[in-house]
Amino acid sequence: MLRQITYRAVLAVTGIVVAIVIVSTLTNWIKDRWRPSHLQRVKDSGTLRILTLYGATTYYPTLDGFAGMEYELGTRFARWLGVRPVFHAVDSISELLPRIMKGEDDLAAAGLTVTDVRKLYLRFSTPYQMITEQVVYLGGNKRPRTISDLAGHRLEVMAGSSHQRTLEILKQRYPKLAWQALDVDIETLLQRVEAGRSDYAVSDSHQFATLRRFYPRLKAAFDLIKPAPLAWAFSKNHDGSLHREAQKFFRHLQENQILAQLREQYYGHVDALGYVDIYTFRRHYKERLPKYRRYFEQAARKHGWDWRLLAAIGYQESHWNNHAKSPTGVRGIMMLTRQTAKQLHIQNRLDPGRTIPGAARYLSQLKAKIPARIPEPDRTWLTLAAYNIGFGHLEDARVLTQSNGGNPDRWMDVKKHLPLLTRKKWYSRVKHGYARGHEPVRYVENVRNYYDLLVRLTEGPISPPKRRQAPVSSSAGSSAHSNIPETTPAAL
């Protein structure tokens, strides 16, 4: 009798449990069925939460707001969705990865390398750039040429980076390879190499190409890996709908050459200057610019330019030498021709108080001729080309660009066609004939570099609100607490 009662009680309890499980499962299914997708929640909220890193290739402040490749892409994606971008910039990769894995933000746009390990924890968008990982050393020291040459030297990487994972894989073949992982950004690592606090650092190639202008004594020794893709990262805790929309977005950018245009905007000019060019510029910045800076600032305020762009033009023209004179007769700090000076009512081309504001006024006149439909920064780069070669020759190059299937409103396309003005096959087809078309290309690239250097020298390095330089881990086994969750590898 007792057994029968017990058996019935067990059946009753089991039935209740099964019913609860069924109800709970149905409830969750209904919730999931009717819960808005991740994409819809973003649209309903009106904001896109973008996780990023401070840095010259990602996200950094300017006088007008923010800039950077990731800032540009993230802003465009938000516009694509019809929402407002909200950027959350963190200090280090080891802080960023756990946040995006948990889904605290909608996506991570931070120049992340796609690796097999990271794909276990994250969804990645279509790649938008290919890079390599490079070993960086201080010029003047012996150049390492192989991985074996790194043994016995102070090698540093960013904690939680793909670089750390690369070294862990390489250590299986090179047991003597050792390094220290620091919870800092790439620029801090480069500063440490330049100061002699470490012998080598590992950097992504696009980062080093951008930053080497500010640390001209540093050099790339060799690549650690074959080219690898950069992409956005999405949490697997979300349903994938926003990720799928991002795939459509990147296809649109690729098909319309917008990605190529953005790569040109941020990286197309960074290799134009050599070590001597940068060293000489820095010396003249200290010795010559102070005498003329007020003229550049006054002219910029009056004519609506950034004074540093005017100064960059002045440096390209004369190296800030007010008595400069070319064999063709152009003179002064802005190297004005007699005809241009006459047009601007400037009698003395050696008077910087007249020639600098005159050049700024002339630059504004040229820019007004450039079609207003052309967006920045292309409109400014085209204006600089016209300042160098003349507006008529620039228009000829734009005609050739269009006739060859390019976009005459994009500097990226026009700069490929300007050199054609040196060849009879091409200059015979246009109105103004022959021109030394290679010169405006070099001119614009140099001015862009000098401008970037002036921004860095006047504003200082890109600095997050805080910096943590304590070691996170080393290959030798000593380690401190890492921000990466214990359920994931220390290096992603």
Does one domain contain both 152 and 171? yes
* pLDDT number for residue 483: 36
Asked if residue 116 belongs to a domain, the reply is yes
Q: Kindly report the CATH number assigned to the domain that includes residue 379.
A: 1.10.530.10
Within-domain flag for 6 = no
Residue 35 falls inside a structural domain: no
**Residue 101 — φ and ψ, nearest 5°?**
-65, -35
- pLDDT for position 477: 38
Which three-class secondary structure state does DSSP give residue 106? Answer: coil
Per-residue pLDDT of the chain (492 residues; tens, 9 = 90+): 545 556 565 566 566 666 566 656 655 555 555 789 999 999 999 999 999 998 889 998 877 788 899 999 999 999 999 999 999 999 889 899 999 999 999 999 999 999 999 999 999 999 999 999 999 999 999 999 999 999 999 999 999 899 999 999 999 999 999 999 999 889 999 999 999 999 999 999 999 999 999 999 999 999 999 999 999 999 999 999 999 999 999 999 999 999 999 999 899 888 888 888 999 999 999 999 999 999 999 999 999 999 999 999 999 999 999 998 887 778 899 998 888 899 899 989 999 999 999 999 999 999 999 999 999 999 999 999 999 999 999 999 999 999 999 999 999 999 999 999 999 999 999 999 999 999 999 999 999 999 999 999 998 876 655 444 444 455 653 333 333 343 344 556
Catalytic residue among 70, 156, 317, 395: 317
Same domain, 374 and 293: yes
Helix (H, G, I), strand (E, B) or coil at 473: strand
Residue 124 and residue 245 in one domain: yes
Residue 373 — left, alpha, or beta (φ > 0 → left; ψ -120 to 50 → alpha)? alpha
Amino acid letter, residue 70: E
Kindly state whether residues 103 and 190 are assigned to the same domain: no
Same domain, 179 and 305: no
Residues 256, 216 within the same domain: no
Predicted pLDDT at 485: 40
Is 23 strand, coil or helix? helix
pLDDT at 236: 96
Residues 364 and 454 in one domain: yes
Instruction: Please report whether residue 424 resides in a domain.
Output: yes
For residue 220, is it within any domain? yes
Q: Does any domain span residue 23?
A: no
Look up the domain containing 448 and give its range. 275-459
Flag whether 16 is in a domain: no
317 flagged as catalytic = yes
pLDDT at residue number 452: 94
204 and 279 housed in the same domain:
no
In this structure, the answer to whether residues 314 and 377 fall within a common structural domain is: yes
Indicate whether 329 and 403 sit together in one domain: yes
CATH code of 114's domain: 3.40.190.10
Helices (H), 256-351: 258-267, 275-287, 289-303, 307-318, 338-343
* Phi, psi dihedral angles at 212 (to 5 degrees): -65, -25
How many separate domains does the chain show? Answer: 3
Does residue 486 lie in a domain region?
no
177 and 110, same structural domain? no
Looking up tokens 């921000």, which residue turns up? 483
Identify whether residues 453 and 352 lie together within a single domain: yes
In three state form, how does the secondary structure of 336-350 look? Answer: ECHHHHHHCCCCCCC
Q: Which of 241, 267, 293 is the last residue of a domain?
A: 267
Q: What is the pLDDT of residue 268?
A: 87
* Token pair of 193 as six digits: 């190499």
- The two beta strands, 180-182 and 155-158, are parallel
Which residues have a Cβ under 8 Å from the Cβ of 86 and sit 6 or more positions away? 47, 48, 49, 50
Determine the pLDDT at residue 487. Answer: 39
Q: In the prediction, which pLDDT does 484 show?
A: 38
